[in-house]
């Protein structure tokens, strides 16, 4: 439920909001440390073949999808802070155990445990964000994502230093640093109120999210639109290297521009997407921006070197703006369509849709799009535009099927106690 701000209040100026921003920042610094260098550690230090490492991480990610909805429902019934802290503790232990990995089987098991905890914790995190950011939800979530992006960037810089040193000790520092970030994040959450569960309406279905057709549709569309993330991280670097005359530094420039634009503009743009209607329009705009950026990336393969670099830079600027509008739409629709007493379950379903899209991304992007070349890029842009065009009608469908909370329930949510 979207609430207006009390007079004189802005996001980030109360203690719970500051605590959650800091905890999320710490956690994402650790993620950046590990994710950017994990493949190097397991292949160069542990000695596992790259194909085995990729298979282990893919299997673990698919297994992890199973815990999102149950973890979210547990957060709704036992309180999101408790479930998130438990998930972080499991991740801290699992991450520490990676320093003892010597086989593919051990890596698969430990990574699967980590991903199960991550999915459950992600759903609980969504429910916690909904409870903390009640004054200006759009502005708070935009600020939160800004600091999350900044944390990933800083962690990635640290990982780059370790990769440069390229010793076992350097990689172990990254792994244990990530484990420590989970533990510190959990400790910081102790500074948050112990938000009590919100009572569901009488005769409420246990798995309400799975019967909510508008939200199920949105989860699928959100997962489809989420393909835009590996466009930057996986598809574009290969396209630049294999099909364009652009210099290799263009790849690094694309990453830097994407990160910089998101950090600098997320709060300014995201704070404007507050209502369901705003979310539907933002989703459509994101699709149109991707429709512009994809042909620009394709055209880079057909122009001289100086023009290719310029096109890539321009395309990544447009794409980054689309990413901001897409994430803002995800916040507005993902939280706005979910009933307050079941935010965890709904965020778990949204995470399942997004995770499924990311799991399919290599096949869709690196096989189909890259294989088709320029035509693949054009089809990808049209695909994003069509997905985005569903935003406004989906928003209207969802708004028609929402039931407003009774006044007593709304007062209870605002006070952080059960109705």
- Distance of alpha carbon 371 from alpha carbon 360, whole angstroms: 16
What is the token pair recorded at 182?
A: 């989970």
Tell me whether residue 82 is exposed, middle or buried, using C-beta atoms within 10 angstroms of its C-beta: 0 to 12, 13 to 18, 19 or more.
middle
Q: Does residue 171 or residue 198 have the better pLDDT?
A: 171
Q: Where are the domains of the chain?
A: 15-189, 208-415
Asked whether 100 and 112 are in contact (CB, 8 A), the reply is: no
Q: Does residue 231 or residue 4 have the better pLDDT?
A: 231
Considering only the top CATH level, what class is 208-415? mainly alpha
Q: What are phi and psi for residue 231, nearest 5 degrees?
A: -60, -40
Picking from 118, 94, 119, 89, the residue whose alpha carbon sits closest to that of residue 108 is 94
Q: List pLDDT tens digits, range 354-402.
A: 999 988 888 888 888 888 999 999 999 999 999 999 999 999 999 988 8
Q: List pLDDT tens digits, range 297-338.
A: 999 999 998 899 999 999 999 999 999 999 999 999 998 898
288 vs 163, 301, 389, CA distance in Å? 38, 22, 8
- What b-and-e string marks burial along 373-406, b requiring 16 or more CB atoms within 10 Å of the CB? ebebbbebbebbbebbebbbebbebbeeebeebe
Q: List pLDDT tens digits, range 91-114.
A: 999 999 999 988 999 999 999 999
Q: Is the pLDDT of residue 415 over 60?
A: no
The set of residues, in sequence order, having a beta carbon less than 8 Å from that of 4 and lying 6+ positions away, is none
Tell me whether residue 272 is exposed, middle or buried, using C-beta atoms within 10 angstroms of its C-beta: 0 to 12, 13 to 18, 19 or more.
middle
- CATH code given to domain 15-189: 1.20.1250.20
Q: List pLDDT tens digits, range 112-155.
A: 999 999 999 999 998 898 888 876 788 888 889 899 989 988 88
Within a 13 Å sphere around the CA of 269, how many CA atoms are in the beta-carbon half? 25
Do the first three CATH levels of 15-189 and 208-415 match, i.e. the same topology?
A: yes
The whole-number pLDDT of residue 9 equals: 43
Q: Is the pLDDT of residue 5 over 70?
A: no
């Amino acid at each position: 439920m979207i609430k207006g701000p009390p007079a004189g209040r802005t996001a980030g100026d109360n203690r719970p909001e500051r605590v959650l921003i800091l905890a999320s920042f710490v956690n994402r610094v650790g993620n950046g440390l590990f994710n950017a260098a994990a493949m190097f550690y397991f292949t160069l230090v542990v000695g596992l073949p790259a194909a085995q490492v990729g298979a282990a991480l893919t299997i673990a990610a698919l297994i992890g999808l199973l815990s999102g909805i149950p973890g979210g429902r547990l957060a709704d019934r036992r309180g999101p802070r408790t479930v998130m802290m438990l998930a972080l503790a499991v991740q801290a232990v699992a991450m520490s155990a990676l320093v003892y990995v010597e086989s593919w089987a051990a890596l698969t098991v430990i990574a699967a445990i980590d991903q199960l905890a991550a999915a459950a914790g992600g759903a609980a995190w969504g429910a916690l964000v909904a409870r903390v950011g009640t004054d200006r939800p759009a502005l708070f979530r935009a600020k939160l994502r800004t600091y999350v992006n900044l944390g990933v960037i800083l962690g990635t810089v640290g990982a780059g230093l370790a990769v440069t040193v390229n010793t076992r000790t350097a990689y172990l520092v990254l792994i244990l640093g990530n484990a420590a970030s989970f533990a510190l994040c959990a400790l910081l959450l102790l500074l948050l109120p112990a938000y009590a569960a919100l009572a569901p309406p009488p005769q409420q279905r246990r798995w309400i999210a799975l019967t909510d057709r508008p939200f199920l549709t949105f989860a699928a569309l959100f997962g489809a639109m989420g393909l835009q993330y590996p466009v930057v991280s996986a598809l574009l670097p290969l396209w630049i290297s294999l099909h364009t005359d652009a210099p290799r530094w263009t790849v690094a420039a694309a990453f830097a521009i994407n990160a910089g634009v998101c950090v600098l503009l997320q709060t300014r743009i995201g704070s404007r997407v507050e209502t369901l209607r705003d979310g539907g329009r933002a989703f459509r705009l994101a699709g149109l921006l991707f429709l512009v950026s994809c042909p620009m990336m394709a055209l880079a393969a057909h122009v001289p070197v100086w023009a290719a670099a310029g096109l890539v830079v321009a395309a990544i600027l447009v794409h980054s703006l689309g990413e901001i509008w897409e994430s803002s739409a995800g916040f507005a629709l993902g939280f706005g369509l979910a009933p307050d007493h079941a935010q965890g379950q709904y965020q778990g379903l949204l995470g399942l849709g997004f995770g499924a899209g990311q799991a399919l991304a290599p096949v869709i992007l690196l096989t189909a799009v890259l294989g088709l070349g320029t035509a693949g890029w054009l089809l990808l842009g049209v695909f994003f535009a069509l997905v985005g065009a569903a935003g406004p009608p989906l928003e209207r469908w969802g708004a028609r099927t929402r039931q407003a909370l009774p006044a007593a329930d709304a007062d209870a949510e605002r006070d952080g106690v059960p109705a």
